[in-house]
Amino acid sequence: SQKIEQNSEALNIQEGKTATLTCNYTNYSPAYLQWYRQDPGRGPVFLLLIRENEKEKRKERLKVTFDTTLKQSLFHITASQPADSATYLCALDEGNTPLVFGKGTRLSVIA
């Protein structure tokens, strides 16, 4: 069966450290993988998209990797800040089909 798994429901880290979130998938062949941020009671906001032929993508303090052999994406936030506290969702895009979302990881950055 098809599955998307984000490594943990919740992750607590100290301010200034690098947060690493994991997204693993089974029985999908995504052409793209996307990461979104969702704050409580709000809709998700797009952060980054990485294509299947890209290994790594960066945007300011964010970095995403995509390993189609391992069927895994890693999402890094460097120099984390309390304002980074939110739920982060990964989403698979197989092209011409609706996005499929993981359950998300709730990140808490502690000052």
Partner 1 sequence: GAVVSQHPSRVICKSGTSVKIECRSLDFQATTMFWYRQFPKKSLMLMATSNEGSKATYEQGVEKDKFLINHASLTLSTLTVTSAHPEDSSFYICSARRQGEDTGELFFGEGSRLTVL
Residues of this chain that interact with partner 1 (CB under 8 A) are 9, 31-32, 34, 36, 41-46, 49, 89, 91, 93, 95-96, 98-104, 106
By C-beta, is 11 or 49 nearer to partner 1? 49
Return all residues near 24 (Cβ < 8 A) that are at least 6 apart.
Answer: 3, 4, 5, 6, 7, 70, 71, 72
By C-beta, is 9 or 56 nearer to partner 1? 9
By C-beta, is 14 or 26 nearer to partner 1? 26
Shortest distance, position 62 Cβ to partner 1, whole Å:
14
Rounded Cα distance between 54 and 65, Å, is 8
Buried (b) or exposed (e) across 45-78, using 16+ Cβ within 10 A?
Answer: eebbbbeeeeeebeeeebbbbbeeeebbbbbbbe
Shortest distance, position 3 Cβ to partner 1, whole Å:
11
By C-beta, is 55 or 103 nearer to partner 1? 103
Amino acid 74 reads: L
Shortest distance, position 57 Cβ to partner 1, whole Å:
13
